[in-house]
Amino acid sequence: MKSTKGEQVWLAAGAASAAMAAFLVWAFAQPGTLGMYRWGYRAPVLGLIALGALPIVAAAAARALSRTKGAAPRIATGIVFAASAVTLLTAISVSAYIFTNAYGRAASPDRPTTIAPSDGIPRRTGADGEPILRVAVSSDGHYGRDASNAEARSAILRLSEVEHRSGGLDAFINLGDIVEMGMEADDWREAIESIRRDAPTLPFLALLGNHDALIGGYARWQAAFGPKGGSSAPTGPSPSSWRIDAGRVHFIALDLLWGPEGFGAKEKAWLVAQLTAIPPSDYTVVLSHCFFYSSGYVDEETGMAWYDHADMLREVAPLIAGKADLVISGHNHYMEWIEADGTAWAVVGALGGKPDPVPSYVSPGSVWRNQGVFGRLVLELTPDGLACEFQDQDGTPLFNRVLR
Ligand SMILES: [Fe+2]
Ligand SMILES: [Fe+2]
């Protein structure tokens, strides 16, 4: 049976809209895309949604005009076919661009030295038989971006490598935004090669940052830093969310990229269960890419406030405050130490990503902050407590506190 013109119009419009809808459903199912829409790139997403709806709206209009006389029905039908072609071609082009990047050739045949969270941080004991733990934490290296400071990034990693080789550093925790654009193989290749050159034996643990996840970048993060080897049994709700018990120090890593988008009931229940299970006399350190408390600024382009993250403070911080000793995050490219709600909140987005502007807003609990200096936060278990020291890229102490 031959299809009528009306059927062809609906078929073309339906196929084009369905193709765009399928791409958008895939994109928003990826970690970080909803956050990206809320915090960063709203216009292109809205443009794709509008373009996806256009063929169906045009087909409905053509149908309404179909019984009118004159040239209107013919013109309307032509518009539906044209709109359908534009939408379909755009959906195919955008999908092809993103899929060939995100799932194309491997970034590198190698990986940095990584720790599988299920294997934990290797245990060391001192001459007196007491357990020793010393780890470095930093975030936001943004490999693949010209504005990033490669020299500072290398200095921090080389210093950590030397310390590790001499038995003075157990692990390096990278809190994400390892690369600028997560779907790009070239950014990951630069990251992997540079890290292997600067710190070939240093054991890494890594979180997923919002830039690492752009768009569909999760597979590339997994290939470079995801759990591999060892028992690799998950210790948390996702490969980038885990718990490691290093003697009396317990690390809990959370998937918080732009904010609490995607951090649902399951993740909250898991977090609460971990915090409840850890003895209060031990040290609990929560790790997150996105900050909770932070001094900061208003982004000129989007008008969004990049300080004291309202959604994080409302939805996630109450589960942690007063229970964890320390929360460490990146995302804002500063170093800062904040004391609030019975917990210390550190920001250490200082691994080389372009420094954020001088804060126009200071978080009320801010004790110390530094803008424009690169470095790391070193945690060391001492007889006095958990010593936390911010250092610059050469290891010069900038600020320290002991959590008792
Ligand atoms: Fe960043
Ligand atoms: Fe970030």
Q: Would the pLDDT of 1 be above 70?
A: no
Q: What would the mean pLDDT of 249-267 be, rounded to a whole number?
A: 97
pLDDT score of 327: 98
CA distance 7 to 212: 44
Å from CA of 48 to ligand 2 middle: 24
Q: How many helices (H) and strands (E) does the chain have?
A: 10, 17
pLDDT score of 230: 53
Report the share of the chain in percent with pLDDT over 90. 89
Å from CA of 294 to ligand 2 middle: 13
pLDDT score of 232: 64
CA distance 360 to 362: 7
Q: What would the mean pLDDT of 126-134 be, rounded to a whole number?
A: 88
Å from CA of 385 to ligand 1 middle: 30
Report the share of the chain in percent with pLDDT over 70. 98
Closest ligand to residue 40's CA: 2
Q: Would the pLDDT of 162 be above 60?
A: yes
Q: What is the pTM of this model?
A: 0.94
Nearest to 215 by CA among 382, 55, 99: 99
pLDDT score of 129: 83
DSSP SS3 for 7: helix
Closest ligand to residue 35's CA: 2
Task: Give the phi and the psi of residue 32 in degrees, each rounded to 5.
Answer: 95, -15
Cβ contact 84:54 at 8 Å: no
Q: Would the pLDDT of 3 be above 90?
A: no
Domain boundaries, the chain: 5-102, 124-403
pLDDT score of 350: 98
CATH fold of 124-403: Purple Acid Phosphatase; chain A, domain 2 (3.60.21)
pLDDT one-digit tens code per residue, 195-230: 999 999 999 999 999 999 999 999 999 999 988 755
Å from CA of 334 to ligand 1 middle: 10
Ligand 1 (single-atom ion) residues, CB below 5 Å: 140, 177, 353
Closest ligand to residue 39's CA: 2
Å from CA of 176 to ligand 1 middle: 8
pLDDT score of 329: 98
Tokens of 335: 């170093």
Nearest to 63 by CA among 4, 1, 2: 4
Q: Would the pLDDT of 231 be above 80?
A: no
pLDDT one-digit tens code per residue, 58-102: 999 999 998 898 899 899 999 999 999 999 999 999 999 999 999
Q: Would the pLDDT of 6 be above 90?
A: no
Task: Give the phi and the psi of residue 31 in degrees, each rounded to 5.
Answer: -60, 135
Q: Would the pLDDT of 369 be above 90?
A: yes
Å from CA of 257 to ligand 1 middle: 10
CA atoms lying within 13 Å on the CB side of residue 229: 11
pLDDT score of 23: 97
Question: Residue 141 — pLDDT band, cuts 50, 70, 90?
Answer: very high
CA distances from 130 to 125, 248, 279 (A): 5, 11, 19
Å from CA of 130 to ligand 1 middle: 37
pLDDT score of 66: 87
- Cβ of 231: how many Cβ atoms within 10 Å? 10
At residue 122's C-alpha, the angle toward residues 388 and 374, to 5°, is 35
Cα dihedral 208, 343, 377, 142, rounded to 10, equals 30
Ligand 2 (single-atom ion) residues, CB below 5 Å: 177, 209-210, 331
pLDDT score of 51: 97
CA distance 351 to 178: 9
Q: What would the mean pLDDT of 308-331 be, rounded to a whole number?
A: 98
Q: What would the mean pLDDT of 10-32 be, rounded to a whole number?
A: 96
Closest ligand to residue 356's CA: 1
Q: Would the pLDDT of 364 be above 60?
A: yes
Å from CA of 330 to ligand 1 middle: 7
CA distances from 119 to 72, 140, 232, 248, 323 (A): 70, 25, 7, 16, 25
Q: Would the pLDDT of 342 be above 60?
A: yes
pLDDT score of 96: 97
